Structure 1
Amino acid sequence: MNQPAVSGAEHPVVPGFHPDPTICRVGEDYYLAHSSFEYFPGAPIFHSRDLLHWKQIGNILDRRGQFLRGDGRPSGGIYGSTLRHHEGRFYFVTTNVGDADSGQTIVTAEDPAGPWSDPIFIPQAVGIDPDICWDDEGELLLTWTGRVAGTDLHGMLQGRVDLKTGEFIGDPYRVWQGTGGLDFPEAPHLYKHGDHWYLLLAEGGTERGHAVTVARADRPEGPYESCPANPVFSHRSRPGLPVQNTGHADLVQTASGEWAAVYLAVRPAGFTPSYHVLGRETFLAGVDWVDGWPVFDEHRYEFTPEDTAFEDDFTADALHLRWVSPASEPDAIAAADPEGGLRLRAPGDGSPGLLCTRVEDLRWVAEAEFTGSGRFEVRIDDRHRYGLVFEDGAVRAEARIGGVSAELGAAPVSGDAVVLRIAAVDCEPETLTALGPDDIVLALVSGGDVTELARLDGRYLSTEVAAGFTGRVLGVGAAGDASRLRRFAYTSTKPVE
């Protein structure tokens, strides 16, 4: 589908559940990584030459030794991170909140597409959203939100780290704690620009009050001077804007010497309080330095979005990078079938047993072709999902919302092959207060005929209802011992407006 040019203020450069963006540049090349929570492999990484069009080149944490499963809970796992390049090597630091003993995790690579190294854990640094930067003497500085294990020190903290041991060189210390007028100072990023060190934070929480704030100092440890224009970027108290929750930014100097920022935001829809369903997405803004402070220009960039459509017949030697699994591993769920496609199985490890891909559009249709049996669903988590199950010669539509599960309709199937379809379509509300972000249609496709089995309110698969930090994904899984996935297709069905 041909897309018109859009404003970077209203459309993400990386759509769908790709939050907490962190960016670095090497020459003419830009690299962008994201948090991924309970989904494995974790921390998807993208490449671009223009900041506007991105292609996934890997998943940084693709071995369980790098990303310990831990408790595997929804919205656990891999949180905010920092990606940097220093003296010919890439560094990635993150938090696995599902594993209480890891502290912060650092991996490195010569090639950002991988392989990435075994992890260096910093167990003393308890908390989230770590940043790494190198001071003027070349020592690695870790800045994070949390506490130091075994001490009373907490807040926005910083310390010098020995990468050979994962231990601090000297004692960590408190740095700038934010403006004081907004809750939840977090997501620090430290930069040297000109004669000053700048500490960029997210404040106000990752909801409607989200904001970017900044302070500067002569030394990384401070003392810091808060920018008089703080917050330097926010959409708080501006409900008429189509993009909300703006924050968690990371700056990059472009190859031409200008500056830009990536940040997360959401696209809510429906009647108040409105609902976002794709999770937190990655947006792009320009940055100018005015009187020694960064000034965001969210309207600087226009671009034509990438076509998100794909079709997968699973004949490649390895699964595409888009496929991930919540609280499990793709290899535990899917294996190549000698007769074509994938053989699906329930891993028996307490996970949902799904192979998933992120939804990247507001209106879309997806089809999964199975033989034998299979299940296909759209979900936020295991308690908020709509789907179709093919087994015992029939297809049935199911829904779970919180603690309530229901079977919604069924249709018989002749033969052992079916095409299951799920689509997000425009909402058809009975009243104004029933206006949601979309409706979800569950259907069976047979011989060119489409049999609609259920049409459901999309609000119940939104973050405002389900809570958490992720977004919608499409999942396929086994419904018996003979589940085979032959084909999967996804396409956007509505041009960007």
Structure 2
Amino acid sequence: MSIEINDKQVFNNPILPGFYPDPSICRVGEEYYMINSSFVFFPGIPIFKSTDLVNWGQIGHVLDRQSQLNLEGEGYSGGIFAPTIRYHEGVFYVITTNMSNGGNFIVTARDPKGTWSDPYWIKNADGIDPSLFFDDDGRTYYTGTRTSKNPQYMGDHEIWLQEIDLNQMKLKGESHILWKGALKNASFVEGPHLYKINGFYYLLISEGGTQHYHSVTIARSKNILGTYEGNPGNPILTHRHLGKGYTISNVGHADLVETQNGEWYMVALASRPYGGDYKNLGRETFLIPVIWEDEWPLVSPGTGKVEFTYPIPILPTSFVSESEVRDDFDNEILNYKWNTIRTPKESFWSLTEKPGFLRLKVSQTGMLDNINPPPFGPFEKYKKVGNTQSPRFIGRRQQHINFEACTKMEFNTQNEYETAGIALIQNNNHQFRLEYSIENGQKVIRLIKCIAKINLDFKNATFSYENIESTLAHKVFSSEAVYLKVSAKGQEYNFYYGSSLNEMELLAGNIDGRILSSDVAGGFIGTYIGLFASSNGKYSNNIVDFDWFDYKSQD
């Protein structure tokens, strides 16, 4: 949202706060469309629309049905990686990777709100991070990231290109290696995008891995097949030289867009660490101005780093972004902000069985999974060892460092196995659960903390873990209507309960929230907060009704 500072209109970064990594953007006339990685969450690939590059409204998801998105067996950091959106001759194209279930594919639509097609799987397309480039001679090219033929080190990758026939959705001709990054022995070159500007082909990539050493680099060539020369100013964007104490970190994975007025901007992911080098919000989407000097892009002129405020683009504004939500569950479909974990094989929620309520069916599937190793590297063959089910969880992103979330729940728990409430989830085994259940014949409110001790043996490609679950607090409590609230001020999380909004009591305060950071838990995602119901491995036909859910910033 734009604000006034010293009589100049500026906007605040990030433009998409919370877990919205790997942004890709395209312009169609005077409208802009942007998408992000969604990993294990369903529906997949949120899609946003804007007219001013600052205020974005979500118009749906690209992958919103089972036939498009199989997430069975995926760990939280598996699933959908690094999608690219492009528009050509009346058709929108999204190309992406499903890490464990199919590989690289394309979906298309004439209306970006949907309905998008079922996947066209691209055979012989190795690696990840695919992108499409439409040349002015009518040819279309696929670019991607893959491991080098004879890798010499971890992350020894290369950017490759091959022509693609979009009528048959097949690669054709020979593949060509374009670049291996700006640095000697560059690690994890990824996220390639091609552009043709003033007779040059520009190849924009990221390298250094998607954490502290992340960076954006660029090369160019007069011939699409190369040879590509790197910008002597590479990297054109990074924060790795600013130290881990800097307020914005992990900058990388970018895409460029030109406005209808001839101005240029870059969208990129970055994180906001707080409470130390911890990033509960995950990787977020930032907007950075770009100018051109000596036929090279210059990012964030004058500072060379991502700033929290910039002058607002001179573009028409049609609406204002809104990251807060009061959901009264009065509609027949869920708000776009909500997701499930993995693709549900059956509908476990209803907004119509009890109008004005979100009803969850209690399930044997618990909130804890077996641990999954990283979705790449020497543990790849062990990826699909986790829970293959979708737990009864409907959640949204934590989008603010300081926030408050509250709900009203009706749940007549029948035994000690049945639980329901609010969960804050970072991954399989790093979470807090504020839940209502039964202990020793009495109904109770309790706060559960779960962490996992993981041991990875790279030499033998094996792993083991110890799941550690503990009750941080519990109180005997019985009520027909249960009010639950979670608030956070930085890394201090507070958990409340009560029989009405006016009678909320603190169950546990100043709880260290750092387990909700990927720096502790591993992986690539940000914190989700939402509603759950489980009978933890036992049969149940019980239900839970949530009257509303309120989330608001306290920043």
What TM-score, normalized to structure 2?
0.81
1:306 positional shift = 4.2
Paired with 2:190 and 2:79, the residues of 1 have a C-alpha distance of 17
Structure 1 counterpart of 2:434: 388
Deviation track 1:351-388 (CA, whole Å, cap 9, x = no partner) reads: 33211111111100101211015221111013110111
Structure 2 counterpart of 1:328: 343
Give the alignment partner of residue 182 of structure 2, picking from 166, 179, 184.
179
Contact 2:271 2:283 in 1 (8 A): yes
Structure 1 counterpart of 2:115: 115
Contact 2:496 2:506 in 1 (8 A): yes
1:398 and 2:448 correspond: yes
Deviation track 1:239-297 (CA, whole Å, cap 9, x = no partner) reads: 253111111110000111111000000000123xx111101000000111110100001
Paired with 1:251 and 1:74, the residues of 2 have a C-alpha distance of 28
Contact 2:332 2:352 in 1 (8 A): no
Provide the secondary structure at the position in 2 that maps to 1:356.
strand
Give the alignment partner of residue 50 of structure 1, picking from 42, 46, 52.
52
Structure 2 counterpart of 1:431: none
Structure 2 counterpart of 1:453: 507
1:493 and 2:498 correspond: no
Structure 2 counterpart of 1:342: 358
Paired with 2:9 and 2:251, the residues of 1 have a C-alpha distance of 15
Contact 1:13 1:305 in 2 (8 A): no
CA RMSD of aligned residues (A): 2.4
Paired with 1:139 and 1:216, the residues of 2 have a C-alpha distance of 19
Give the alignment partner of residue 524 of structure 2, picking from 469, 476, 484.
469
Paired with 2:9 and 2:193, the residues of 1 have a C-alpha distance of 26
Deviation track 1:8-36 (CA, whole Å, cap 9, x = no partner) reads: 89720000000000000011101010000
Question: Which residues of 2 match residues 231-270 of structure 1 at below 5 A?
Answer: 231-239=235-243, 240-270=245-275
Structure 2 counterpart of 1:36: 38
Structure 2 counterpart of 1:354: 393
Paired with 2:2 and 2:97, the residues of 1 have a C-alpha distance of 39
1:2 positional shift = 11
Provide the secondary structure at the position in 1 that maps to 2:241.
coil
1:459 positional shift = 1.1
Paired with 1:65 and 1:167, the residues of 2 have a C-alpha distance of 20
**Code of the aligned partner of 2:445:** V
Q: Show structure 1 runs of 5+ residues with no match.
A: 427-437
Q: Which moved more, 1:298-307 or 1:481-490?
A: 298-307
Q: Which moved more, 1:169-178 or 1:255-264?
A: 169-178
1:12 and 2:14 correspond: yes
Contact 1:398 1:408 in 2 (8 A): yes
**Code of the aligned partner of 1:186:** E
Contact 1:143 1:156 in 2 (8 A): yes
1:420 and 2:481 correspond: no
Provide the secondary structure at the position in 2 that maps to 1:237.
helix
Contact 2:497 2:504 in 1 (8 A): yes
Q: 1:416 and 1:382, CA in 2 relative to 1: closer, same or farther beyond 3 A?
A: farther
Structure 2 counterpart of 1:482: 543
Structure 2 counterpart of 1:442: 495
Deviation track 1:313-338 (CA, whole Å, cap 9, x = no partner) reads: 21102111111111233963311253
Q: How many residues align?
A: 476
Contact 2:43 2:343 in 1 (8 A): no
Provide the secondary structure at the position in 2 that maps to 1:65.
coil
Provide the secondary structure at the position in 2 that maps to 1:125.
coil
Contact 2:426 2:517 in 1 (8 A): yes
Deviation track 1:135-165 (CA, whole Å, cap 9, x = no partner) reads: 232122000001699xxx9721110112243
1:180 positional shift = 3.1
Q: 1:312 and 1:469, CA in 2 relative to 1: closer, same or farther beyond 3 A?
A: same
Structure 1 counterpart of 2:25: 23
**Code of the aligned partner of 1:365:** E
Q: Which moved more, 1:38-47 or 1:232-241?
A: 232-241
1:371 and 2:410 correspond: yes
Contact 2:447 2:473 in 1 (8 A): yes
Paired with 2:12 and 2:263, the residues of 1 have a C-alpha distance of 22
Q: 1:196 and 1:346, CA in 2 relative to 1: closer, same or farther beyond 3 A?
A: farther
Paired with 1:7 and 1:398, the residues of 2 have a C-alpha distance of 45
Question: Which residues of 2 match residues 75-94 of structure 1 at below 5 A?
Answer: 75-94=77-96
Provide the secondary structure at the position in 1 that maps to 2:347.
helix
Contact 1:47 1:54 in 2 (8 A): yes
Contact 1:154 1:174 in 2 (8 A): no
Structure 2 counterpart of 1:215: 219
**Code of the aligned partner of 2:495:** L
Contact 2:409 2:546 in 1 (8 A): yes
1:4 positional shift = 6.8
Q: Show structure 2 runs of 5+ residues with no match.
A: 150-155, 301-305, 313-318, 366-387, 414-419, 453-466, 536-541
Give the alignment partner of residue 229 of structure 1, picking from 223, 227, 233.
233
Structure 2 counterpart of 1:105: 105
Paired with 1:352 and 1:98, the residues of 2 have a C-alpha distance of 19
What TM-score, normalized to structure 1?
0.91
Structure 2 counterpart of 1:432: none
Contact 1:28 1:255 in 2 (8 A): yes
**Code of the aligned partner of 1:81:** P
Aligned identity (percent) is 37
1:179 positional shift = 1.2
Paired with 2:237 and 2:158, the residues of 1 have a C-alpha distance of 22
Paired with 1:405 and 1:148, the residues of 2 have a C-alpha distance of 41
